[in-house]
Structure 1
Amino acid sequence: MIDVFSDVIGFIIIVLIFAVLIKFRVIKIVSKNGYKYKQSNHKLTLAYKKFNGFDYYYFKFSQGRTMTLSYDVEVDEGELILEWRDRKQLLWQEVFTENTQGSITAQTQNRRYSVRIEGKHTKGGCRIQFTEKDSQ
């Protein structure tokens, strides 16, 4: 009887710990419904019926080049966060709650970069394209 009681108490404690970790965003639950993506060398296209969580997409560029990230974001509901990062720092971040187009330009210091996509109960999609300033 005591073993069953201690097992139940242990289970309740573990569930409470996970609930606290999820609440304070130490653990994030990712859900993707109707999530489709296509990635090529310098392009990324996403579409989703429902997206909650985050994902990373990786790109390689030559060092010392001026690169422009152009984006076309569609937000039907919720919120989408885009980030352009190198390995050490955040280069750019924007939060979208409505359809938006734009671009951001930066000088590449490294070869490897990532785009972090975070959805907060969002529906929609986005298109991202990198272009080298001299190749437009």
Structure 2
Amino acid sequence: MSDIIGFIIIILIFAVLVKFRVIRIVSKNGYKYKQTKHELNLTYKKFNGFDYYYFKFNQGKLITLSYDVEVQEGELILEWHDRKQLLWKEAFTENTQGSFTAQTHYRRYSVRIEGKHTKGGCRLQFTENGSQ
């Protein structure tokens, strides 16, 4: 009997940790990606969770992030980070295209992709616009 109670307590603790996002469960169904030096293409039948992709740029340049997001269901959140701060973040619930430009101060940057029970895909492309 004590084994069953212990098991139930462990399950309840796990459920609470998932509920408060201390533990995150990532599920990817039909998830395909292609990453090049300055481009990322994703498609997925179902994506719930998050993933990181990394890029390098020259310092002191203006970089434009162009995005083309397809959301058939759910929500997709895109974030662009440098080493110390969030540069840009946007949540998408419908198909959207756009761009955002930032000055580079470091070499290494990351893009965080978070899907909330989403279906669709996205295309991200970074272009260098020169220096400021």
Q: TM-score, normalised by structure 2?
A: 0.96
Which deviations, in whole Å up to 9, do the C-alpha atoms of 1:69-117 show, x marking residues without a partner? 0000000111000000012111100000000000000001111000000
Task: Name which of 103, 110, 113 aligns with 2:106.
Answer: 110
Secondary structure of the residue aligned to 2:59 is coil
Which structure 2 segments of 5+ residues have no match? Answer: none
Task: Tell me which amino acid in the other structure corresponds to 1:71.
Answer: Y
Which structure is higher in helix share?
1
Q: Percent of counterpart pairs with the same letter?
A: 82
Q: TM-score, normalised by structure 1?
A: 0.93
- In structure 1, how many angstroms separate the alpha carbons of the residues matched to 2:65 and 2:94? 19
- In structure 1, how many angstroms separate the alpha carbons of the residues matched to 2:95 and 2:64? 20
Which deviations, in whole Å up to 9, do the C-alpha atoms of 1:42-84 show, x marking residues without a partner? 0000000000000000000111111000000000111000000
Task: Name which of 117, 124, 127 aligns with 2:120.
Answer: 124
State the Cα RMSD in Å.
1.1
Task: Name which of 31, 35, 40 aligns with 2:31.
Answer: 35
Tell me what 1:10 maps to: 6
Tell me what 1:71 maps to: 67
Which deviations, in whole Å up to 9, do the C-alpha atoms of 1:17-58 show, x marking residues without a partner? 000000111111100000000000000000000000000000
Number of matched pairs = 131
Task: Tell me which amino acid in the other structure corresponds to 1:132.
Answer: E
4+ residue runs over 3 A deviation: none
TM-superposed CA distance for 1:6, in Å, is 2.2
Which structure 1 segments of 5+ residues have no match? Answer: none
Secondary structure of the residue aligned to 2:18 is helix
Which structure is higher in strand share?
2
In the alignment, does 2:114 pair up with 1:85?
A: no
Max radius of gyration: which structure?
1
